[in-house]
């Protein structure tokens, strides 16, 4: 997601196990549990909470949750709409009022002009955004934003020029409330995206983040209070331990993928979402925040997480403010004699440099002016900054100094040796050309329970798996206690032989966690259920249904449409695949990963011209990419146009000198079709310079040698291949 709209510190709590102390109350207890609701989904509204929970309600009132989203009126709008004109990044705005409503006239960079009525506000500080109602049930978030602190209009992603057709434009998918924001800014949100119509029928019980966002629907709780039962079950979510709290908080405070249609308070996180790993497209190589991660992905890396620290150990769950200011917050647990001392922080007491958070919770501005702190609570590692160009707390303050200066200072104070840390494995696993020793260490790392589960899952995602020893480490990890580790292991078996994938998938379909069952279903997409029987068939049908629910629940995203299309293509449903690939491009015309499979789908549908047209458009949008030329070469081969095919593969190699598949295809063509063994040898040797151990490449070279009469050289290769099996 390119924007978060507003940093709502959502503290949700989870369901207590149902129990009953007094036998005399069992009938009433059962009656309440089976109560047919008089409210929509059992959500009763804040007014029903106040009489018993007035103190908590008053603390919540005016909080970021309370003001998460509001109807736009004189009490909620903070921006200046008093006939204000401003131009930002080539877009001209005029903010004004008309008939007691708030309006903005926008002249886009293409000189199109239109007036929009502001319907809702989003957030309250340090910035406020504004929503406009569009057709098909959409609400769109204006790019222009009100800076509450400096009292001015500004653009997020200042300096970017965003064309009206771009997915990032405020009228397109990236700024669509229904898809990107709604679930975490309103209570009992039901997105209700209609795929065929490409429209929304989104509803909510409360416009903001209300009591029941955190404590769950309260109708049965009201019935419990009216019956005055003396049992332990209150039919309300309270979140007594870390797992219960995080299952709720992380629902909104994580960069994640939906597994289910709607958020249900009190449900295990891994049964509703898949957390984003700490990969380098969202984080720095060592796991520090880069893009917005909404806290959970960082917190899972921390020792605090490992020690059972809860959200409400630091944050008041109703005001959302910190419980204490300054180091007092940390000194709740960390002994002052050891940590509140200049011998620990090496700076003068009561200065900014002596504050725990400035060394261990560095941060970054998002959305233009919103400073967020990294919740991985890490010790600065300037030595990693020297080697990998990662940030560190030392030079973020000492901006006139170098990373090497900071690394030297650490060595001077603490010596050469650093305490082992998972960031070392993250950094190595994301590099190319890993040594054999490093690879062995990483294979051991993924099964070392001393390290965070999200770090181990990320290393699994980062690595490629080739030989039996490497897969053996995965088989061990398949039994890990962490659901995200098990899921990431399953994905690595996608290229395994079908029978091996089936065996692993059938076992994992019995898993107690939905995320893992979905991973198992992904291993055997396209499997005919009638080849199974008994419990295996039942488990497969269930897990496949869960996978399909995940895909349809994300189909309003451009990438979600693409993934749904991929699913149809893998199931040989080419027509539906094409339909959803095309829908993905309607949502985001610049979503380049779509073009490859769309061209493939057209080709499978015997539509050569559409396939070629798709690849040509891809080349136009991404002129330096070698892959469309490679695919176009294959397309020409399929249509018996060898001359154009060869030309396209040669362009692919020119654009990417490491394009070994293009080299292999050319070598195969020259060996099989043109009998030009000299050219065949040249191209396959070029490929082997890059991947010398590839068995397919070596086998082809052996065949070429045989064709040239170089029998002894061919035999050497064949014997080596046989020995490596």
The verdict on residue 27 lying in a domain is no
Q: Name residue 640's beta-bridge partners.
A: none
Q: What is the pLDDT of residue 37?
A: 59
The verdict on residue 261 lying in a domain is no
Helices vs. strands in the chain: H and E counts, helices first: 33, 16
The verdict on residue 146 lying in a domain is yes
Q: How far is CA 438 from each of CA 134, 442, 478, 569, 669, rounded to the nearest angstrom? A: 53, 6, 22, 38, 38
The verdict on residue 646 lying in a domain is no
Local structure of residue 267 (DSSP, 8 states):
S
Distance from C-alpha of 189 to C-alpha of 182, rounded to nearest angstrom: 7
How many separate domains does the chain show? 1
Local structure of residue 131 (DSSP, 8 states):
E
Distance from C-alpha of 51 to C-alpha of 627, rounded to nearest angstrom: 64
Contact call for residues 90 and 105 (beta carbons, < 8 A): no
Beta strands 193-194 and 199-200, pairing class: antiparallel
Residue 130: its H or E element:
strand 127-133
The verdict on residue 106 lying in a domain is yes
Distance from C-alpha of 54 to C-alpha of 709, rounded to nearest angstrom: 92
User: Rounded to 5 degrees, what are φ and ψ at 263?
Assistant: -65, 130
CA-nearest of 440, 453, 444, 442 to 486 is 453
Distance from C-alpha of 536 to C-alpha of 529, rounded to nearest angstrom: 9
Question: Which residues of the chain, if any, have pLDDT below 70?
Answer: 1-37, 229, 725
Distance from C-alpha of 234 to C-alpha of 32, rounded to nearest angstrom: 10
The verdict on residue 124 lying in a domain is yes
CA-nearest of 677, 672, 631, 668 to 651 is 631
Q: How far is CA 635 from each of CA 305, 378, 646, 674, rounded to the nearest angstrom? A: 51, 51, 11, 18
Distance from C-alpha of 520 to C-alpha of 490, rounded to nearest angstrom: 6
Domain, as residue range, for 145: 69-200
CA-nearest of 137, 123, 132 to 204 is 137
Distance from C-alpha of 134 to C-alpha of 130, rounded to nearest angstrom: 13
Residue written as tokens 């100094």?
Answer: 401
Rounded to 10 degrees, the C-alpha dihedral 175/176/178/184 comes to: 0
135: tokens are: 């057709």
Three-state secondary-structure class, residue 423: helix
Rg, Å, the chain Cα set: 29
- Strands, sheet with 113-117, edge to edge from the N-terminal-most edge strand: 84-88, 91-98, 101-107, 113-117
Local structure of residue 289 (DSSP, 8 states):
B
Q: How far is CA 529 from each of CA 261, 506, 538, rounded to the nearest angstrom? A: 24, 12, 9
Q: What is the pLDDT of residue 9?
A: 27
Residue 550: its H or E element:
helix 534-553
The verdict on residue 415 lying in a domain is no
Give the number of C-alpha atoms closer than 13 A to the C-alpha of residue 691, restricted to the C-beta side.
19
Q: Give the torsion sign (CA, 629, 632, 638, 641).
A: negative
Q: What is the pLDDT of residue 3?
A: 32
Rounded to 10 degrees, the C-alpha dihedral 251/256/262/266 comes to: -30
Three-state secondary-structure class, residue 282: coil
Distance from C-alpha of 1 to C-alpha of 448, rounded to nearest angstrom: 32
Long-range contacts of 565-569 (CB under 8 A, 24+ apart): 565/594, 565/597, 565/598, 565/601, 566/597, 567/525, 569/597, 569/600, 569/601, 569/604
The verdict on residue 382 lying in a domain is no
Three-state secondary-structure class, residue 465: coil
CB contact set of 321 (below 8 Å; sequence gap of 6+): 315
Q: What is the pLDDT of residue 7?
A: 32
Residue 363 gets the label, from left (phi > 0), alpha (psi -120 to 50) or beta, of beta
């Amino acid at each position: 997601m390119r924007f978060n709209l507003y940093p709502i510190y959502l503290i949700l709590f989870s369901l207590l196990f149902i129990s009953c102390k007094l036998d005399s109350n069992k009938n009433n207890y059962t009656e309440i549990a089976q109560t047919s609701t008089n409210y929509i989904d059992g959500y009763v509204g804040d007014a029903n909470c106040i009489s018993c929970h007035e103190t908590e309600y008053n603390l919540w009132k005016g909080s970021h949750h309370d003001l998460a989203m509001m109807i736009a009126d004189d009490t909620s709008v903070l921006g200046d709409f008093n006939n204000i004109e401003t131009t930002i990044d080539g877009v001209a705005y005029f903010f004004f009022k008309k008939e007691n409503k708030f309006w903005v006239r926008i002249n886009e960079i293409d000189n199109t002009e239109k007036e929009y009525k502001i319907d809702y506000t989003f957030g309250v500080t340090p910035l406020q955004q504004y929503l406009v109602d569009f057709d098909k049930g959409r609400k769109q978030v204006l790019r222009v934003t009100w800076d509450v602190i400096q009292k001015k209009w500004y653009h997020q992603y200042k300096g970017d020029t965003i064309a009206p057709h771009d997915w990032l434009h405020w009228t397109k998918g990236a700024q669509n409330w229904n898809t990107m924001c709604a679930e975490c800014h309103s209570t009992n949100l039901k997105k209700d995206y209609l795929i065929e119509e490409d429209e929304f029928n989104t509803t909510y019980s409360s416009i903001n983040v209300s009591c029941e966002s955190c404590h769950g629907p309260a109708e049965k709780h009201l019935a419990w209070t009216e019956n005055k039962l003396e049992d332990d079950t209150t039919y309300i979510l309270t979140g007594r331990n870390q797992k219960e709290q995080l299952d709720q908080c992380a629902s909104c405070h994580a960069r994640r993928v939906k597994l289910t249609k709607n958020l249900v308070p009190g449900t295990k996180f891994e049964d509703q979402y898949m957390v984003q790993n700490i990969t380098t497209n969202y984080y720095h190589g060592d796991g520090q925040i880069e893009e917005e991660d909404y806290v959970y992905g960082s917190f899972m890396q921390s020792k605090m997480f490992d020690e059972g620290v809860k959200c409400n150990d630091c944050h008041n769950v109703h005001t959302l403010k910190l419980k204490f200011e300054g180091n007092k917050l940390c000194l709740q647990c960390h002994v002052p004699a050891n940590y509140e001392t200049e011998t620990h922080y090496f700076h003068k007491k009561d200065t900014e440099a002596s504050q725990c958070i400035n060394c261990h919770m560095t941060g970054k501005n998002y959305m233009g002016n919103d400073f967020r702190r990294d919740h991985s609570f890490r010790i600065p590692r300037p030595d990693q900054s020297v080697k990998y160009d990662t940030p560190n707390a030392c030079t973020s303050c000492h901006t006139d100094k170098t990373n090497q200066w900071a690394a030297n200072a650490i060595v001077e104070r603490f010596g050469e040796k650093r305490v082992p840390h998972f960031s070392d494995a993250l950094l190595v696993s994301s590099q190319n050309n890993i040594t054999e020793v490093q690879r062995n260490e990483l294979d051991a790392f993924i099964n070392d329970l001393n390290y965070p589960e999200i770090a181990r899952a990320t290393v699994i995602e980062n690595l490629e798996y080739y030989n039996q020893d490497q897969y053996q480490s995965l088989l061990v990890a398949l039994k890990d206690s962490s659901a995200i580790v098990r899921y990431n292991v399953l994905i690595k078996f996608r290229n395994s032989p079908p029978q091996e994938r089936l065996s692993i998938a059938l076992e994992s379909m019995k898993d107690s966690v939905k995320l893992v069952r979905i991973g198992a279903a992904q291993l055997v997409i396209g499997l005919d259920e009638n080849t199974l029987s008994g419990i295996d068939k039942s488990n497969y049908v269930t897990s496949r249904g869960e996978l399909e629910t995940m895909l349809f629940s994300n189909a309003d995203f451009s990438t979600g449409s693409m993934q749904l299309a991929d699913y149809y293509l893998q199931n040989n449903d080419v027509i539906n695949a094409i339909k959803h690939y095309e829908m993905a491009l309607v949502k985001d015309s610049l979503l380049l990963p779509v073009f490859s499979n769309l061209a493939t789908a057209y080709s499978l549908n015997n539509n050569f011209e559409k396939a070629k047209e798709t690849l040509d458009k891809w080349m136009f949008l991404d002129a330096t990419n070698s892959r469309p030329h490679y695919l176009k070469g294959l397309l020409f081969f399929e249509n018996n146009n060898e001359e154009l095919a060869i030309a396209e593969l040669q362009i692919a190699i020119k654009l990417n000198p490491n394009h070994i598949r293009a080299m292999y295809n050319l070598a195969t063509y020259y060996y099989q079709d043109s009998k030009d063994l000299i050219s065949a040898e040249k191209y396959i040797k070029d490929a082997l310079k890059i991947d010398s151990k590839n068995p397919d490449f070596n086998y082809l070279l052996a065949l070429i040698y045989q064709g040239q009469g170089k029998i002894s050289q061919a035999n050497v290769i064949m014997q080596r291949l046989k020995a490596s099996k």
